[in-house]
Amino acid sequence: MRLAPGTEVTLRIDRLSAGGRGVGRLNGLAVHVDDTAPGDVIRARLIRLTGAHAEAELIRVEEASSDRVTPRCPHVGTCGGCRWQHLDYRAQAAAKEAAVREHLRGVAGHDQVPVRPIIAAGDPWHFRNKMEFSFQPPDRVGLHRRGRWDEVVDLQTCFLPSPRTVTVLRVVREFIRRHGVACYDTRIHQGFLRHLVVREGHATGELLVALVTAAGPFPHSQDLAQALHREVPGITGLVWAVNASQSDAVEVSAVSVLDGRPFIYERLGGLTFKLGLLTFFQTNTTQAERMLEVVREFAGLRGTEQVLDLYCGVGTFALALAGQAAEVTGIEALQAATEAARDNAALNTITNALFYTAPAAHLRWVLAPRGHPDVVILDPPRAGAGVGVTREIGGLAPRRIVYVSCNPVTLASDVRDLRSRGYEVTAIQPVDLFPHTDHVECVVQLERTVER
């Protein structure tokens, strides 16, 4: 058979790719297809062929996998929020664990990669403590359509956040339709309402609602506040933030409090954290708590150590470890985050945690007055730490590194470099913080094998 775009083929899906698509083989060609499960026999139409790989769109499932389930959400297939709802959750967790093993095979320095069984979510629904929704004319509010930056699915429900967040979504939609408030069009950069952000404290029950708009007056804002108080229990604060730029990210130049206060409190690991509109915090509180327990275990502190927390954010790991260390130093490039970390330290009466605003690669300059750390906590963004940072860490020669990763690909690259600098992987713990997606968190323990 001559294969070309438009050709219809039948194939069996035998695995999931790192990007979450099902993969089947056809005449030696790896064919990637969305919305499929290992064990499916499908009919698909080829879209793109490049070398030994191809992409195809699903036409129909001819023989369903035993791992296939009926998606719970009516928006599956159009909404880009979660793409694995057609997979039984146990199969999702197994696929993520397998992906970690695959990416770290040959990197850890062992014939058998020391990967522990994944810590799966106890309940894969209603786990998100923060949601960012977008607006689109004339009156849509929801999440972006799969694969589209300029189109929004008008969500009637969502099973990722709590039901209270869905109620907020409904109330805001009714508000814009009742008052005719203009929604922002990202294609022509006109309109007023841009984003709706809902942040919830799972441990405290507090709720923060934020409307992000273009510049200009906000008519009927008090009507919205009254409607939310009437229909949504426990709202802690309603804020209005202005994004005067053309960027579609949630960027703000000014924040006004319409009702209540501009932050909520959340508890994690026995600590209390203050969270505002833009504060970075893990979006799955329950699983973040379990990941924090792994970090504590892998750090193996005895009360005498100097600890460095790189990419420390608002101090989640640093503050959680402070009670088991002599001193913890956090370094973060964003000044707002380090200021929040200092506030959280004060909030929890922690006096042995210091926070500095600096790029991670400048860590030796920051640490010069304090000496070499015994343990380094490394939690970089998806792009990884990179050679510049791993070289600096290697120069400090801590006896132990605990690497927290949200991307197995960049994790593998950084671990390979750290091994070349005298470290051995001793434990790997995958954690699922994002059910119904292919994203997986991973905590890696590395021990120094050579003397300083």
Binding residues for S-adenosyl-L-methionine are: 282, 311, 332, 379
Total residues found in the chain within this entry? 452
Binding-site positions: 282, 311, 332, 379
Q: Which residues contact 420 (CB under 8 A, 6 or more apart)?
A: none
Please say whether the beta carbons of 372 and 397 come within 8 A: yes
Which of 85, 97, 181, 105 has the alpha carbon at shortest distance from 141? Answer: 181
- Cα–Cα distances (Å) from 116 to 94, 98, 139, 287, 415, in that order, read 12, 11, 47, 16, 17
The β-bridge relationship of strands 8-16 and 41-50 is: antiparallel
Which of 115, 95, 96 has the alpha carbon at shortest distance from 105? Answer: 115
> Strand, helix or coil at 434?
coil
The identity of residue 306, as a single letter, is Q
User: Dihedral, CA atoms, 353, 354, 358, 363, nearest 10 degrees?
Assistant: -70
Catalytic residue among 73, 79, 183, 406: 406
Please say whether the beta carbons of 308 and 377 come within 8 A: yes
How many CB atoms lie under 10 A from the CB of residue 391?
15
Tokens describing residue 220: 């009927």
* Alpha carbons 44 and 164: distance in angstroms, whole number: 39
Counting other chains too, the contacts that 248-251 makes at CB distance below 8 Å and 24 or more residues apart are 248/134, 248/149, 248/186, 248/194, 250/132, 250/195, 250/197, 250/212, 250/277, 250/278
The β-bridge relationship of strands 400-405 and 375-378 is: parallel
The β-bridge relationship of strands 254-260 and 235-242 is: antiparallel
Helix axes 408-420 and 387-396, enclosed angle (nearest 10): 40
The answer to whether 73 is a known catalytic residue is no
* Alpha carbons 412 and 398: distance in angstroms, whole number: 20
* Alpha carbons 59 and 36: distance in angstroms, whole number: 11
Query: Catalytic residues, which ones?
Result: 406
